[in-house]
Amino acid sequence: MTGVTLISTGGTIASQHSEAAGAVVAELGGSTLLAKLHDPLDGIEVRVEEFRELNSFALTLADAHGLVAAIRAALQEPGCAGVVVTHGTDTMEESAYLADILVAGDKPVVFTGAQRHAGDPDSDGPRNIADAIRVAAAPQARGIGAVIVFEGEIHAARDVTKMHASRTDTFRSPGLGKLGEVDLGEVHLYRHPGPRRVVPDRGLVEEVELLRLALGTTPAFLDFCADRGVRGVVIEGFGRGNAPRGFGAAVQRLNAAGVPVLIASRCVEGRTRAVYGGDSGATTLVEAGGLLTGTLPGLKARLLLSALLAAGAGRDEIAQALARA
C-alpha cells in the first residue's frame, strides 16, 4: 500500500454556494473532498490534513510559507510517498513554485484544484484530486519536484501558469509544454523538468513588490518603494526586459540604496536579454544594476527574491540563483 498525504487549503475545489453569504465560499475540508471521489484508488492509502479553508486570493505569504512547512512535515512521515495539495487556482502556481524551491527531496508534491465549485453537478474537482493522488503515488514521479495536475495534465511548477479565468483546462506551460498526463488512471511522463535548485528556507521577506509596465508607465512607483523601505522590486518589462524612459535612473537609485531590482518580461514566452539600449532598454537597466530573470516570470521571480532575501543573500548570490533558476 502506497501512502499519500492530502493537504487541503480551500479554494474553488472546496467551495459551494452559501445562501447566507449569497456567493460561493470555501467551507469543505479535505475528508469531504476525498469522500466525493468517483474512482477507486486501488493500492493507495490517503491521509488527510486540514490546513486552511480559504480561497487562494485570500492567502498571504505567511500562509504560503506555513503551507510549505506542512508539506515538508508530511513528506517526512514514515510511509509517505508524496503529497497532494488542494488549492485555489488564482494563486496555485505561486504556492507550487514556493514548494518547488523550498522543499528538498525527490518525493513529488502535487497541487490541484477545480474551476467549478464542489456544489456544481459538473465539478472537475473529484477527477483532478484522483489524478493528483495517482501522480503523487507514482514511482516515476519521484524527482520531478512540485507540479500542478489539472484536467489530466502534469505541469512543472517552474513553468506553469493560469491562462484562462474559468475554463477547466486553464493551466498550461507556454513555450515548454506539459511534463506528462494521466490517462484513464495511468501516469505517463514525457519529459523531465531538469535539475531543481532548492533555496535554504529561512522564511519569506514580504516587502518585495511587483510592477507590471504598460505604455507610458512612470517610475514614480519605484521611488515610492524606496521611500517605504521596500526590500526588493521585480519589474515586468516589455519584450526582452525594456522599460519606458526614466526607469534606468530609478533602478540606479534603488540599487545604490541596496534594493535589488529584478527585470522580468511581461511576455508569456521568451527570455529577457540586454539587447536594446537608449533611455531604459534592458542594456541600460542592467548597467543601472538591474538583474534579468531570463525565462522566469515576474510572479515567480518575486517569490524567489523573497526567499533569497530572507536567507541573507546579497546581490551576487541573487544573480547566481537567477542564472540557475
Binding-site residue positions: 56, 89-90
- On whether the CB atoms of residues 199 and 321 are closer than 8 A, the answer is yes
Task: Examine the residue annotation and report whether 89 is marked as an active-site residue of this protein.
Answer: yes
3-state secondary structure of 108: coil
Residue located via cell numbers 527585470: 263
Give whole-number Cα distances, 81 to 47, 85, 110, 215, in Å.
11, 14, 11, 49
Q: Give the active site residue among 2, 12, 112, 283.
A: 12
Q: Locate 301 and state its grid cell.
A: 521571480
CB burial class (10 A; 0-12, 13-18, 19+) of residue 58? middle
- On whether the CB atoms of residues 181 and 152 are closer than 8 A, the answer is yes
> Rounded to an integer, what is the distance from CA 263 to the centroid of its chain?
18
Give whole-number Cα distances, 145 to 31, 60, 83, 96, 215, in Å.
25, 23, 11, 9, 37
Residue located via cell numbers 508569456: 268
- On whether the CB atoms of residues 28 and 157 are closer than 8 A, the answer is no
Q: Which of 246, 280, 282 is nearest to 265 (CA)?
A: 282
Residue located via cell numbers 507610458: 216
Q: CA 313 to CA 125: how far, in whole Å?
A: 40
Q: Give the active site residue among 86, 89, 168, 283.
A: 89
Task: Examine the residue annotation and report whether 12 is marked as an active-site residue of this protein.
Answer: yes
DSSP state of 286: H
* Cβ-Cβ contacts under 8 Å for 18 (sequence gap 6 or more): 24, 25, 27
Amino acid identity of residue 235, one-letter, is I
Binding site members for substrate: 56, 89-90
3-state secondary structure of 252: helix
- On whether the CB atoms of residues 136 and 68 are closer than 8 A, the answer is no
Q: Supply the residues annotated as catalytic.
A: 12, 89
